[in-house]
């Protein structure tokens, strides 16, 4: 494990290849004090992103804020309303969610994705439905013409 091992590779390719991070975007990182999450926080900050880090203790949150430079830190074990804290930390929505744990944080993050993400997703889904309908019509007409013969 380490920055030059699988941990660093996972963070790098997940953030830049899969997430296509650009400067100025908002990144939410769950499990941010872990091996991969801490590398993601550093890479995102170096790229000019706003970083919201989620961890499970005050010591980890302090380390993320003071040493790694996270813009906002949330202790999920010590908050009354995790959803409200994430909403406050991401007023423009979330552009990239680097999930290391799943669960409630994933559900909240999906509700906070930025408009661009959902517009892309709805465009993709519309295309999928349109082509599915065309394939259905083609197969239906093909089966209909075969049954007539």
d(CA 53, CA 147): 61
Question: What pLDDT sits at residue 136?
Answer: 73
pLDDT tens string for the chain (149 positions)? Answer: 566 667 777 777 778 877 788 889 888 898 888 888 888 899 999 999 999 999 988 999 999 999 888 999 999 889 888 888 888 888 888 888 888 787 788 777 777 776 555 444 445 555 566 667 777 777 777 776 665 55
Question: What pLDDT sits at residue 15?
Answer: 82
Question: CA–CA distance from 23 to each of 49, 77, 104, 107, 113 (Å)?
Answer: 5, 30, 27, 25, 17
Helix ranges (H only) for the chain are 6-12, 35-46, 58-66, 82-89, 104-112, 115-148
Break the chain into its structural domains and give their ranges. 6-113, 115-149
The class of domain 6-113 in CATH terms is: alpha beta
d(CA 67, CA 115): 32
**Contact (CB, 8 A) for 49 and 26:** yes
């Amino acid at each position: 494990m380490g920055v030059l091992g699988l941990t660093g590779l996972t963070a790098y390719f997940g953030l830049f290849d899969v997430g296509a991070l650009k400067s100025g975007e908002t990144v939410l990182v769950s499990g941010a004090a872990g091996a991969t999450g801490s590398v993601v926080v550093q890479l995102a900050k170096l790229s000019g992103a706003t970083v919201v880090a989620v961890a499970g203790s005050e010591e980890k949150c302090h380390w993320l804020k003071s040493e790694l430079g996270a813009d906002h830190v949330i202790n999920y074990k010590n908050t009354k309303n995790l959803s409200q804290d994430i909403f406050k930390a991401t007023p423009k929505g979330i552009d990239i969610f680097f999930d290391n744990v799943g669960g409630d944080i994933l559900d909240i993050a999906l509700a906070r994705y930025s408009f661009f993400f959902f517009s892309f997703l709805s465009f993709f889904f519309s295309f999928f439905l349109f082509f599915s309908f065309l394939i259905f019509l083609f197969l239906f007409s093909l089966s209909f013409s075969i049954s007539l013969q």
